[in-house]
Amino acid sequence: MRPYSPGLEGVIAAETALGFVDGANGRLLYRGYPIGQLVEHGTYSAVAELLWTGEWRPDARLTTAPIPGPVMTALRALPPTAKPMDALRTAVSVWGATQVLEWPPTPEQARAVTSFSPSALAAFARLRRGLEPIEPDPALDLVTGFLTQLNGERPDPATARALDAYFIVGAEHGLNASTFTARVIISTRSDIASAVSGAIGAMKGPLHGGAPSEVVEQLHRVGTPEHAEQWVREALDRGERLMGFGHRVYRAYDPRAAALRKVAESMEHKPDWLDLAIKVEDVALRVLAERHPERPLKTNVEYYAAAVLQGVGLTPDLFPATFALARHAGWTAHVLEQVAANKLIRPDARYVGPAERDLPV
């Protein structure tokens, strides 16, 4: 009997040279480079190119792309109550129907979908508020363009830089569920738009798409720094989980949280609750360690992602779709890696149904 691993836990299902998630030591490397250095010295465009091509080109530049007519028609047809993740998944699907996406997928195709999606999300976010979408400005880099198309005004450079840092830390994270989905889809010789729209569908689930908006709600419940200690202790006594702490892989401080904390602290428009967040983090780490010294629970990426996303002015319901925009680089890099040595991904299931029997005729 071959072993069955529920959730494929512990199963090596691919080889990758893209992201190395070193949970025991709290390290995340993209093609060998530590995430902290990439955030400090890189841009999302350079990091995306690194993932796609393996080359470090700090001056690489992506811009947002125009939205094809049929995509705009589809976005206009959606109800304003549609979830931004649904709108983004739909937009990528319609976009794919307007493109000639030949096999095998190329870095050019990866650039095209990564440049298209921010325009689509910004357009939907405006349409649902009764506002007209804004055309991309090719003079702006991808993240500045996204914020401009979303808000109708150019962000200050510090704000754009903060969101760019968030995009870098969100770009890639090994063989997570959505990335695996993208690889499965492309392994059938489908196309990059199908792989990305499938990946968005996988990321939409609450077990994957992250909890930054819950971190915001948690801080609202804490209220004030003076109340932090009592709130944390009472929440743990009630058996609740502290949002933004713990991780399946990282047993040490999540290196993405460390990079984003630095960014959040240096932001011009810090959310007014950042000081509260820092206080709650100090208390939470102390109390979690005190209660279970044998079980390390440290800050995860979502904690400071919330600060950065709120600080750049995004509403919490846009957080998951913004995470999806950032992950386009990783999804598409995995697509390229998969097709470079393609083998159809087709695991087996163990049959546990009835033995052969006759129909009751």
By annotation, the residues acting in catalysis are 247, 302
Q: Does 211 bind ligand ACO (CB under 6 A)?
A: yes
Task: Give the residue with the Cβ less far from ligand ACO, 124 or 245.
Answer: 245
169 interacts with ligand ACO by CB under 6 A: no
Asked whether position 248 contacts ligand ACO by CB under 6 A, the answer is: yes
Tell whether residue 243 is a contact of ligand ACO (CB under 6 A). yes
How far apart are the C-alpha atoms of 199 and 209, rounded to whole Å? Answer: 11
With CB under 6 A as the contact rule, the residue among 210, 255, 271, 330 that binds ligand ACO is: 210
Binding-site member from 96, 133, 155, 244 for ligand ACO (CB under 6 A): 244
Task: Give the contacts of 198 (CB within 8 A, at least 6 positions apart).
Answer: 181, 182, 184, 185
Tokens of 181: 């989905």
**Contact between 300 and ligand ACO per CB under 6 A:** yes
The residue at minimum Cβ distance from ligand ACO is 246
Q: How far, in Å, are 11, 269, 273, 281 from residue 225 at the CA level?
A: 43, 20, 9, 10
Q: CB of 257: closest distance to ligand ACO in angstroms?
A: 9
Q: Would you put residue 260 in left (φ > 0), alpha (ψ -120 to 50) or beta?
A: alpha
Residue where the block lists tokens 């044998």: 294
- CA torsion 239→243→249→250, rounded to 10°? -110
Pairing of strands 19-22, 33-34: unpaired
Among 46, 260, 301, 314, binds ligand ACO (CB under 6 A): 301
Least CB distance to ligand ACO at residue 280 (A): 12
Looking at 33-41, 137-145, 149-157, 292-300, which segment touches ligand ACO (CB under 6 A)? 292-300
Q: Which residues contact ligand ACO by CB under 6 A? A: 210-211, 241-248, 295, 297, 300-302
